[in-house]
Amino acid sequence: MKEKEINLTQMQPTETQVPKIECASPKDFKLLRTLGGNLDGVRSVCWSPDGKYLASGSYDKAIAACWPSDRDFELNEDGDNAVSISIWDTNSGEKIKTLEEYSGIVFSVSWSPDGKYLASDSCYKNVIIWDINSEEKFKPLKGHSYQVNSVSWSPDGNYLASSSWDSTIIIWDANSGEILKTLNHSFFDVFSVSWSPDGKYLVSGSQNNTIIIWDAKSGEKLKTLEGHSDSVYSVSWSPDGKYLVSGSADDTIIIWDAKSGEKLKTLEGHSYGVNSVSWSPDGKYLVSGSGDGTIIIWDAKSGEKLKTLEGHSYGVESVCWSPDGKYLASGSWDETVKIWGVE
């Protein structure tokens, strides 16, 4: 496939608002659908902003997406950068669209806020941006010296942040591909990076058991949060930007006050490392996925365990809420993506 020069449509900044959404009761959640067909474990799942699509990144180097069943095409080209695209039927769960990137394992996928682009990473140091409408990819963003673990779009869609085993976070101009800032995490792998809802800050989780809050504009390190006893695999802001949540290899989840850095609650319930954490769109609930194969939904205010979802046969690598708060998606080493919710 011929790669395009980066020239994204400039997105309009949006104000940070807590969505006026009433999420479905987690106590009623159950398994609705299993999406199979991956050749190896699923590392990342991400809903599109409108909730119509679901992207997943896999250890088989594939990025798969659920699409409306009225689109049906397949594109194949030879070469090192060949991409084959198939389509998922959202009703049956059949995989009918796949983007294959032959530059390494896909560890993270992230939709742009306008839903037009998909960003992915790879073990070959690059960040890839895909144009969803034209089914083409842009030239890779090159700047890391080791595997990229996490990618995240800024809320206004004009910037990307990526974290890597090279101990750095890079902030990119998503429209030009230019490197704007490189943030150093002091010689430790950075597993996760996430933007604050207002786009002013970044938070990162690292191999050295710490969480760092950064000023996204200046690159200044504002706070270092300490409380975990092992690597921090996942970090996420609450929708209102007041709180942070982190998941760690120490089997725990910690809720933090984002302004003061104070540790508010430690949630215990998993028997193995917590690989992924995510807030519900209304900020009332948390979901966590663990190497123990379970998914737990928590009350974010009280810390109470509300529901344990079981169905994966191996560790859960990624969990995320749908934008309307009615569903959860999970990706696992068992080579499946599962959708949970209320019928």
Which of 103-107, 119-123, 164-168 is the least confident region? 103-107
Higher pLDDT, 88 or 173: 173
Domains and their CATH numbers in the chain = 26-38+114-341 (2.130.10.10)
Cβ atoms of 136 and 130 within 8 Å: the answer is yes
CA dist., res. 241 & res. 232, Å (int): 20
> Which residue type occupies 226?
E
Is pLDDT of 57 > 60? Answer: yes
Confidence (pLDDT) at 106:
75
Is pLDDT of 62 > 60? Answer: no
When pLDDT is averaged across residues 81-85 and rounded to a whole number, the result is 32
Per-residue pLDDT band for 95 (boundaries 50, 70, 90) equals: low
Is pLDDT of 109 > 80? Answer: yes
Per-residue pLDDT band for 82 (boundaries 50, 70, 90) equals: very low
Please name the residue that has the structure tokens 């159950």: 30
Indicate the pTM of the whole model.
0.86
Task: Answer left, alpha or beta for residue 302, where phi above 0 means left and psi between -120 and 50 means alpha.
Answer: alpha
Q: What is the pLDDT of the chain when averaged over all its residues? A: 83
Confidence (pLDDT) at 66:
47
Is pLDDT of 242 > 60? Answer: yes
**81 contacts: CB under 8 Å, gap ≥ 6:** 1, 3, 101, 102, 103, 137
Confidence (pLDDT) at 185:
82
Is pLDDT of 118 > 50? Answer: yes
When pLDDT is averaged across residues 292-306 and rounded to a whole number, the result is 97
Confidence (pLDDT) at 123:
61
pLDDT digits (tens, 9 = 90+) for 187-234: 789 899 999 999 999 999 999 999 999 999 999 999 999 999 999 999
Q: What is the DSSP string of 53-111?
A: -EEEEETTSEEEEEE-TT----B---STT---B--EETTT-----EEE-TTS----EEE
